[in-house]
Chains A and B, each alone.
Chain A
Amino acid sequence: MVSTASRIKLSVKDLSIRYGSTVALEGASFDVRDNEIFGIIGPANSGKTSFIRAINRMDEMTPGMEVRGDIEFNGKSVTDWRNLYALRSRIGVVFPLPVGLPMSIYENVAFAAKLRGVKGKADLDEVVERCLTRAALWDEVKDRLDSLGSLLSGGQQQRLTIARALSQEPELLLLDEFSIAVDPVTTMRIEEVLKELKQEMTIVLVTNLTQQAQRLADRTAFFLEGKVVEVGDTRALFKGQTKDPRTTHYIEGRFG
């Protein structure tokens, strides 16, 4: 019992997400295992972002968003967490559009560390350098850590957002189309980092680039029009060993 519980990071049970009469996700059930990269692919409006937002209960700040069913995080339903902030601090989120908070680059990355009580300058310095390095941004900003985070270029802000998520030292990292604003070379560098990070955390990777899922994900889920069509071993799926022909169609780019 204990061993199986520790092997499963997220357990999604009959999850449905609605915005008024719009159904974003319906009847989703699957598990995300510890220390895997779990890819989610699917066309626009398939409910990928909505799923990500439900995990750390962002529905509570989204007017009209209604979540039914259950998501268990470490075996405990996320809605059972009384201290929502403690739950969220264990989950790092990277949104599709980068959000540099209106404070210095340094403060952006030190923010989460300060929230969890890290005080010493040396400790904070260490967190900032380590996270920026991992997000492949350190070299570009190390001489201007005091400048405003929101003044960086789009791609730099996205990496800043990734550094910020890492600074939470999360157990679970949710990446929603992180490479949308990042150039291909930097994307590759970040992908290498993600492969390493897998040792320390579980990663859910939503991506519009099926190739990216193929490169990174251990297992992949295919979302389509609010339904989870299938979840399978990434390599098998990309070899065409799918349960549903629509998955193959999508992977091969033969879609609408």
Chain B
Amino acid sequence: MSAPQSDRLDDRIDAAWIWDRIARAVIFIGGISAIVFVVAIFVFVAKEGLAFIFEKLDLGFFFTSPEWRPAQEPKPEFGGLALIAGTASVTGLAMLIAVPFSLGVAIYIGEFATGKVRETLKILVELLAAIPSVVWGFIGLTILNPLIIDVFDVPVGLTVLNAGIILGLMAAPIMTTIAEDALKAVPDTYREAAEAMGATRWQVIRQVVLPSASKGLVAAILLGVGRGFGETMAVLMASGHSINIPTSPFDSARALTATIAAELGDTAKGSDHYKALFSLGILLFLVTFVINLLADVLVRKGASDRS
């Protein structure tokens, strides 16, 4: 063997090895700091709210009473049911609109549209996703509000329906993008193999593409649900923001997030009201956590059912 060749094969610490170590360290620090931030945020929220939840808050009352009067003297009332119902109904309606809409558009873009139409649609969807939420709230306030009053002949247009539509339209673009990514990740060889057997496009989509993209599609939907729970500004503007358990889409409602946003500025740091708002934050945190956990279980179950 010649000398230069044995040099190359030598067990040496070279530049590539050093760069690999550096890259690993940087990535590790990045990953760890993400975890640290999340934990820190959780600790902060918990510190402000947890003691209050266990010592002062009557949990039975919180989950059963719609009476949210945190500033009432001498005895404030902390009933969360109306706020929970508000968030749930607005998000639920939003998903009713956004899920079929976004999946439909994603399937069209991913499986049927070609060339210019496809590119244009994708750009359009991305543009929609970039509209700030205050603009959506403004649309709810100035366009949808009078429209609902006119069309349904109701006295107020700032309702669950309004906020649900706005939130649905807001969540749909990002859901579409994620869903389309999931469809794109399905190898073309699957489509080709199934089509070669004489399956129609729809059969291929229904029986091959959607099942193998199901993980990503579930993720897209959950992302939408998360968006719904977390969205504040647009819901604050479009829902009417009145404390009330909605019994129809034409009732006004108030969301958990909107309550925090609207009231936190008026509270004294450390007061019961301030802490009560943090317990709402903890609730939001928990719900999001449960949704993600549920998604994880569903996705895993789906995978093991098929293997």
**Residues of A bordering B, CB below 8 Å:** 56, 58, 61, 85-93, 95, 97, 99, 101-104, 111-112, 115-116, 147-148, 151, 161, 164-165, 168
Report chain A residues within 8 Å CB of B200: 85
Report chain B residues within 8 Å CB of A61: 191-192, 195
Q: How far is the CB of B209 from chain A (nearest CB, A)?
A: 9
Q: Are B198 and A112 in contact (CB under 8 A)?
A: yes
Task: Tell me the complex Cα distance, A102–B204, Å.
Answer: 12
| B-side interface mostly | helix
Report chain B residues within 8 Å CB of A89: 197-198
Cβ-based interface call for B38 (8 A): no
Given contacts A102-B190, A148-B306, 9 further A-B contacts (CB under 8 A): A58-B192, A88-B198, A93-B196, A95-B189, A97-B189, A102-B186, A103-B306, A115-B197, A115-B199
Within 8 Å by CB of B197, from A103, A104, A112, A151, lies A112
Q: Are B196 and A101 in contact (CB under 8 A)?
A: no
- What is the size, in residues, of chain B's interface with A at 8 Å between Cβ atoms? 20
Report chain B residues within 8 Å CB of A90: 198
Question: Which residues 154-212 of B have a CB within 8 angstroms of A?
Answer: 186, 189-200, 203, 207-208, 211-212
Q: Are A115 and B208 in contact (CB under 8 A)?
A: no
Report chain A residues within 8 Å CB of B191: 61
Task: Tell me the complex Cα distance, A147–B304, Å.
Answer: 9
Q: Are B193 and A99 in contact (CB under 8 A)?
A: yes
Cβ-based interface call for B307 (8 A): yes
Q: Are A95 and B203 in contact (CB under 8 A)?
A: no
Task: Tell me the complex Cα distance, A198–B56, Å.
Answer: 83
Q: How far is the CB of A64 from chain B (nearest CB, A)?
A: 12
Q: Are A164 and B195 in contact (CB under 8 A)?
A: no
User: Known contacts A103-B306, A151-B307: does B196 contact A56 (CB below 8 Å)?
Assistant: yes
Within 8 Å by CB of A104, from B186, B189, B194, B306, lies B306
Q: Are B197 and A164 in contact (CB under 8 A)?
A: yes
User: Known contacts A111-B207, A115-B203, A148-B306: does B189 contact A99 (CB below 8 Å)?
Assistant: yes
A-B contacts, 8 listed (Cβ < 8 Å):
A89-B197, A101-B190, A101-B193, A102-B208, A102-B306, A104-B306, A147-B307, A161-B193
Task: Tell me the complex Cα distance, A97–B193, Å.
Answer: 11
Task: Tell me the complex Cα distance, A88–B199, Å.
Answer: 8
- By Cβ-Cβ distance, the 9 closest A-B pairs, closest first, are A89-B198, A102-B212, A88-B198, A99-B193, A148-B307, A93-B196, A85-B198, A99-B189, A112-B197
Q: Are A102 and B197 in contact (CB under 8 A)?
A: no
Q: How far is the CB of A245 from chain B (nearest CB, A)?
A: 37
Task: Tell me the complex Cα distance, A103–B307, Å.
Answer: 8
User: Known contacts A61-B191, A95-B189: does B211 contact A103 (CB below 8 Å)?
Assistant: yes
Task: Tell me the complex Cα distance, A103–B189, Å.
Answer: 14
Q: How far is the CB of B213 from chain A (nearest CB, A)?
A: 9
Task: Tell me the complex Cα distance, A28–B23, Å.
Answer: 56
Question: Which residues 44-79 of B have a CB within 8 angstroms of A?
Answer: none
Centre residue among B190, B197, B199, B200 by max chain A CB count within 10 A: B197
User: Known contacts A103-B211, A111-B207: does B193 contact A95 (CB below 8 Å)?
Assistant: yes
Task: Tell me the complex Cα distance, A61–B208, Å.
Answer: 16
Task: Tell me the complex Cα distance, A115–B212, Å.
Answer: 19
Report chain B residues within 8 Å CB of A92: 197
Report chain A residues within 8 Å CB of B211: 102-103
Report chain A residues within 8 Å CB of B189: 95, 97, 99
Within 8 Å by CB of B208, from A95, A101, A116, lies A101
**B286-307 vs A: 1/0 string, CB under 8 Å?**
0000000000000000000011
Q: How far is the CB of A206 from chain B (nearest CB, A)?
A: 15
Report chain A residues within 8 Å CB of B195: 58, 61, 88
Report chain B residues within 8 Å CB of A115: 197-199, 203
Task: Tell me the complex Cα distance, A115–B208, Å.
Answer: 13
Nearest chain-B residue to A85 (Cβ)?
B198
Task: Tell me the complex Cα distance, A92–B207, Å.
Answer: 19
Q: How far is the CB of B45 from chain A (nearest CB, A)?
A: 41
Task: Tell me the complex Cα distance, A56–B193, Å.
Answer: 12
User: Known contacts A101-B208, A102-B212, A103-B306: does B198 contact A168 (CB below 8 Å)?
Assistant: yes
Q: How far is the CB of A170 from chain B (nearest CB, A)?
A: 9
Task: Tell me the complex Cα distance, A203–B274, Å.
Answer: 78
Q: How far is the CB of A58 from chain B (nearest CB, A)?
A: 6
Report chain A residues within 8 Å CB of B207: 103, 111
Task: Tell me the complex Cα distance, A58–B189, Å.
Answer: 12
Report chain B residues within 8 Å CB of A116: 198
